[in-house]
A and B are shown apart, each in its own frame.
Chain A
Amino acid sequence: MRRFATLTAALLVAASCGTDGTEDTVTLLAHDFFAVTPEVLAAFTAETGIEVEVVLGGDAGVVVNQALLTAGNPVADVLFGVDNTLLSRALDGDLFLPYVSPAMGLVPEEFAAAAGVTPIDFGDVCVNYDKAAFTDLAPPRTLADLADPGYAGMLVVEDPTISSPGLAFLLATIVEFGEQGDYTWRDYWADLRANDVLVASDWGTAYYGHFSGAGDGDRPLVVSYASSPGAELVFSEPPPAEPSTATLTEGCFRQIEYAGVLRGTTHRGAAEALIDFLLGTEFQGDVPGSMFVYPVRPDVALPTWLDTPTPGSLRMEPDRIDANRDRWLAEWTQVVLR
């Protein structure tokens, strides 16, 4: 029992040391897939004297909720990884202090959002296909093609009610087919269902479980990312001459990730310096290799394995997503699962 008391005391002391930061420490709260090459982060500390502590907290949706629950009394100084499907919630919760980084001048207008958040990276959720399965049959080109009976039983998607790429793909179909008219997104999904679409719970199950291009699966079409084929190439040993998968460049949905200084921070100066760093050349150049997304700064060179971003990606305003998400998910459930 004494041992327990000592241990608890030690833990409490360790804990309090961890949070009693000085001006030289800044804490970054991010989702579980945040990654940065350690040397890049070390360069920031060497340059500014600011230590960065990274706190990870689960999926992006969970992290935004953590920030909302602690609004005004945050566990970190900077939040990274709010994407356009979550942005309205975060802004409604008044999470951020306004800050415009000088480097924003280098970021294209299309990425800019409300004051307070800074765009850092973007990615495209696209359908990938297993090249080996499409030697006789031509691969589909458009979202509409996926409902063609010629591609029956080939597509696996993620459940939009519990997976981010799944939600992004649903939003792409809503932009593409619309809510009104002769053929709405609901009709499209009814056709996908008739075409034996398979719904997996998460990206890993879809990609590694059901997709034939990367695992044991038997489905040659999967909802993944535009960067996935390139990543397959660079993360294979020995590296094949060509990736075994490819991307359907039509019907991609663009996800943009933002960062912001959390209201209630006691290290505002350091937090703003960290935002500048996230937009800096080094971090922006590190983003493709660490997180498989594109830097928002077009002047930063992309690695050779990564194709340039698809030009015609579908987009949707964060406010529209937030206002309709629950209804769309309920309707999707009706059409596809019931």
Chain B
Amino acid sequence: MKRPWALVAIPAVFLAAFFAYPMATILVKSLAASDGGGPLLDAGVVWFTVWQAVVSTILTLVAGLPIAYVTARYEFPGRRLLRAATVVPFVLPTLVVGIAFFALIGPSGLLGIDLSGTAAAIIASHVFFNVAVVVRVVGGLWEHLDPRLEEAARSLGARPVQVMRLVTLPLLRPAIASAAAIVFLFSFTAFGTVLVLGGPGIATIEVEIYRRTAFLFDLRGAAVLAILQIVGVTTALLVYAHHQGRSRITQTLARSRPRRPHSARQRIFVVATVVWTLLLVGLPTMVLAWRALTRDGVPTLAGFRALQTSPFVDVAASTTTSLGYAMAAMLIAVGVGLPAALVIASHRGRLSRWFDTLLMLPLGTSAVTLGFGMLLAFDAPIDLRATAAIIPIAHALVAIPFVVRSLVPVLGSIRLRLREAASTLGASPRRIRREIDLPIAGRAAAVGAGFAFVISLGEFGATTLLARPGSATLPLAIFRLLGRPGAVNVQGAMLLALLLMVMTVTVVMVIDRYRLPGEGWF
């Protein structure tokens, strides 16, 4: 891969055309607009955005690492289902999560504490949403750590805590940093959770951009905030890239078979983690199921009948639309993300790190601003505005970093010697790529592809802000139902949320199964 230009070109052109160009168009136009009158900056908003994102990231790691560990290392009944289930929150529309959280920690919540309107509720929802990122990204590498390193440390007399601190965590650092960066970006640009759970007086930069755009007609102020957001995100990403550059470790990857817990302590740890996962993911989910299937405590199937006759939603059409978009977004995300990851993993210079950083930028960018940018920029040569093509492209922009982040830690850790050995044995660079890099990448890409599919399935924020034809996606159908009064509309919305969950778990389990057969590539 001396000349990776073809590989660089695909992601570079995609990003330039569908991200940089529309962003530049809207920002230039907005900054030239007349002053909207409001103050340009609110320091409180900026401060809240930063600190809640930091705290959310730390707590998500704390909540997710034990789950990543247990599901990667221990065999127990329901392990795969549990791991797939952690992805469920990721696809739930924020409005639905808001309702579940209200039922739990609202004014008359089941848990008996009212956190509505507080930063704590927002942060709790971010942990709930993003724990899947930690479980998948870190768990993916954890499964492939060579267990002999830890065994060696143990046989040299290291206690379990020392093994974890001195061997395991340093080896996992690239994946932990990847997951942390993604969680940070999601929390930094949070919109729906902040709006629903936070209430007035609590706003992130993204909420403020929306308020100025949709309610104050202050495009100039919105543009200033959007630029500020990009600067903040870029700074965070550069710190991350710098850290990643130093911490890369070449290691032999292996397939360590998950083992049954044997000591009492291990069993307790596994059970505790499973219970914790069920509480974190299962409790809000059960509240939704309860809401979908009961009315005043009495079981009812009214929601099903309501969905069949609803004047606002067409379930079959929405399901087809959602699946179609998800498929297209996944193909685009893998098509763009795979070459990008190959380049990043095989070139270790500063340029490569910057490229890596650039790819994550759309995750930390205002969906409102980008949506308007696309509207302004894509009228020629082919009018893409308000077409169905825009949706999977927008979803792919969010999903590409997941494909890349799933791939790079694995690819980056492929031991150089494997390539050198192949080369010594006379394999051409092309053959090395075909027979070593691509098969290994293929498995990691499947993880990223699954994420991309699921992200598209659940995407709401960007979708609602893009003018689009055709029937609503499932999250939008849920939104339409919840925007109207009437008990059966709520029941119908909750049923659609359950449908979305079932689809997600199915997709994730299929992909995990495809990934798992132990042919032993690593």
Say whether A associates with B: yes
A interface residue numbers (CB < 8 A to B):
1, 3-4, 7-8, 11-12, 14-16, 18-19, 27, 29, 32-33, 35, 37, 53-59, 61-63, 65-66, 69-70, 73, 75-76, 89, 159, 161-162, 167, 199-205, 207-210, 214-219, 224-225, 227-228, 231-232, 234-238, 289-290, 292, 325-326, 329-330, 336-337
Looking across the interface, which residue of chain B has its beta carbon closest to that of A93? B217
Q: Determine which residue in A12, A37, A162, A217 has the highest number of CB atoms from chain B within 10 A of its CB, and name it.
A: A162
**Interface residue B458 (Cβ < 8 Å from any Cβ of A):** no
Nearest first, the 4 closest Cβ-Cβ pairs linking A and B are: A235-B486, A4-B335, A237-B302, A61-B214
**Interface residue B77 (Cβ < 8 Å from any Cβ of A):** no
Q: Is the CB of A4 within 8 A of B196?
A: no
**Interface residue B216 (Cβ < 8 Å from any Cβ of A):** yes
Asked, given contacts A56-B472, A201-B200, whether A11 binds B328 with beta carbons under 8 Å apart, the answer is: yes
Q: Which of B82-113 contact A (CB under 8 A)?
A: 95, 98-99, 102-103, 106-109
B453 → chain A closest CB, angstroms: 15
**Interface residue B300 (Cβ < 8 Å from any Cβ of A):** yes
Looking across the interface, which residue of chain B has its beta carbon closest to that of A207? B485
Stretch binding the partner chain, chosen from B129-137, B274-282, B374-382, B444-452: B374-382
- Complex partner residue of B382 from A16, A210, A214, CB under 8 angstroms: A16
- Complex partner residue of A201 from B198, B302, B472, CB under 8 angstroms: B198
A255 → chain B closest CB, angstroms: 15
- Complex partner residue of A292 from B219, B332, B485, CB under 8 angstroms: B485
Looking across the interface, which residue of chain B has its beta carbon closest to that of A240? B487
- Complex partner residue of B482 from A14, A63, A208, CB under 8 angstroms: A208
**Interface residue B521 (Cβ < 8 Å from any Cβ of A):** no
Which chain A residues border B207 with CB–CB below 8 Å?
Answer: 162
Q: Is the CB of A75 within 8 A of B467?
A: yes
In angstroms, Cα B218 to Cα A208, docked, is 30
Show 22 residue pairs from A and B whose CB-CB distance is below 8 angstroms, ordered by the A residue.
Answer: A1-B10, A7-B332, A16-B382, A58-B465, A58-B467, A61-B214, A61-B217, A66-B467, A69-B376, A70-B375, A70-B376, A159-B200, A161-B200, A204-B196, A204-B483, A208-B99, A208-B490, A214-B490, A215-B99, A232-B487, A289-B311, A292-B485
Looking across the interface, which residue of chain A has its beta carbon closest to that of B301? A237
Tell me if B's interface is mostly helix, strand, loop or mixed. Answer: helix
- Bitwise, B473-487 to A at CB < 8 A (1) or not (0) is 000100110111111
Q: Is the CB of A32 within 8 A of B480?
A: yes
Q: Is the CB of A199 within 8 A of B199?
A: yes
Looking across the interface, which residue of chain B has its beta carbon closest to that of A86? B217
Which chain B residues border A217 with CB–CB below 8 Å?
Answer: 102, 106-108
Q: Is the CB of A200 within 8 A of B487?
A: no
B336 → chain A closest CB, angstroms: 7
**Assuming A69-B372, A75-B385, A202-B195, what are 11 further A-B pairs, CB within 8 angstroms?**
A8-B332, A27-B386, A27-B469, A208-B99, A209-B106, A210-B107, A214-B485, A218-B108, A235-B487, A238-B302, A330-B38
Looking across the interface, which residue of chain A has its beta carbon closest to that of B10? A1
Q: Is the CB of A231 within 8 A of B486?
A: yes
Q: Is the CB of B388 within 8 A of A200?
A: no
Q: Is the CB of B386 within 8 A of A75?
A: yes
In angstroms, Cα B135 to Cα A91, docked, is 51
A46 → chain B closest CB, angstroms: 19
Which chain A residues border B486 with CB–CB below 8 Å?
Answer: 231-232, 234-236
Which chain B residues border A18 with CB–CB below 8 Å?
Answer: 387-388, 469
Which chain B residues border A209 with CB–CB below 8 Å?
Answer: 98-99, 102, 106, 116, 196
B398 → chain A closest CB, angstroms: 17
In angstroms, Cα B489 to Cα A203, docked, is 15
Asked, given contacts A214-B487, A217-B106, A231-B485, whether A61 binds B215 with beta carbons under 8 Å apart, the answer is: yes
- Complex partner residue of A55 from B311, B469, B485, B490, CB under 8 angstroms: B469
**Interface residue B421 (Cβ < 8 Å from any Cβ of A):** no
B interface residue numbers (CB < 8 A to A):
6, 10, 29, 36-38, 95, 98-99, 102-103, 106-109, 116, 195-196, 198-201, 207, 210-211, 213-219, 295, 300, 302, 305-306, 311-312, 328, 331-332, 335-336, 339, 368, 372, 375-376, 379, 382-389, 392-393, 464-469, 472, 476, 479-480, 482-490
Which chain B residues border A219 with CB–CB below 8 Å?
Answer: 107
Looking across the interface, which residue of chain B has its beta carbon closest to that of A209? B102
B203 → chain A closest CB, angstroms: 9
Which chain A residues border B490 with CB–CB below 8 Å?
Answer: 208, 214-215
Which chain B residues border A16 with CB–CB below 8 Å?
Answer: 382-383
Looking across the interface, which residue of chain A has its beta carbon closest to that of B195? A201
Looking across the interface, which residue of chain A has its beta carbon closest to that of B487? A236
A52 → chain B closest CB, angstroms: 11
Looking across the interface, which residue of chain B has its beta carbon closest to that of A327? B37
Q: Is the CB of B483 within 8 A of A203?
A: yes
Asked, given contacts A15-B387, A159-B200, A216-B108, whether A32 binds B483 with beta carbons under 8 Å apart, the answer is: yes
Asked, given contacts A7-B328, A69-B375, whether A57 binds B480 with beta carbons under 8 Å apart, the answer is: no
In angstroms, Cα B95 to Cα A232, docked, is 20
In angstroms, Cα B485 to Cα A205, docked, is 12
In angstroms, Cα B376 to Cα A55, docked, is 16
Looking across the interface, which residue of chain B has its beta carbon closest to that of A164? B215
Which chain B residues border A12 with CB–CB below 8 Å?
Answer: 382, 384, 389
B219 → chain A closest CB, angstroms: 8
Which chain A residues border B375 with CB–CB below 8 Å?
Answer: 66, 69-70, 75
In angstroms, Cα B385 to Cα A232, docked, is 38
Which chain B residues border A33 with CB–CB below 8 Å?
Answer: 480, 483-484
- Complex partner residue of A236 from B379, B383, B386, B488, CB under 8 angstroms: B488
Q: Is the CB of A162 within 8 A of B195?
A: yes
In angstroms, Cα B466 to Cα A56, docked, is 8
In angstroms, Cα B215 to Cα A326, docked, is 9
Q: Is the CB of A62 within 8 A of B332?
A: no
Q: Is the CB of B468 within 8 A of A56?
A: yes
In angstroms, Cα B210 to Cα A32, docked, is 16
Q: Is the CB of B328 within 8 A of A326?
A: no
Which chain B residues border A19 with CB–CB below 8 Å?
Answer: 383, 386-387
Q: Is the CB of B106 within 8 A of A216?
A: yes
Q: Is the CB of B372 within 8 A of A66?
A: yes
Which chain B residues border A7 with CB–CB below 8 Å?
Answer: 328, 331-332, 335
In angstroms, Cα B55 to Cα A84, docked, is 42
A74 → chain B closest CB, angstroms: 9
A218 → chain B closest CB, angstroms: 5
- Complex partner residue of B336 from A4, A58, A289, CB under 8 angstroms: A4
Which chain A residues border B485 with CB–CB below 8 Å?
Answer: 207, 214, 224-225, 227-228, 231-232, 235, 292
Q: Is the CB of B480 within 8 A of A35?
A: yes
Q: Is the CB of A199 within 8 A of B306?
A: no
Q: Is the CB of A201 within 8 A of B196?
A: yes
Looking across the interface, which residue of chain B has its beta carbon closest to that of A199? B200
In angstroms, Cα B214 to Cα A167, docked, is 12
A320 → chain B closest CB, angstroms: 16
Which chain A residues border B328 with CB–CB below 8 Å?
Answer: 7, 11
In angstroms, Cα B486 to Cα A234, docked, is 7
Q: Determine which residue in B102, B210, B467, B476 has the highest number of CB atoms from chain A within 10 A of its CB, and name it.
A: B467
Looking across the interface, which residue of chain B has its beta carbon closest to that of A89? B217
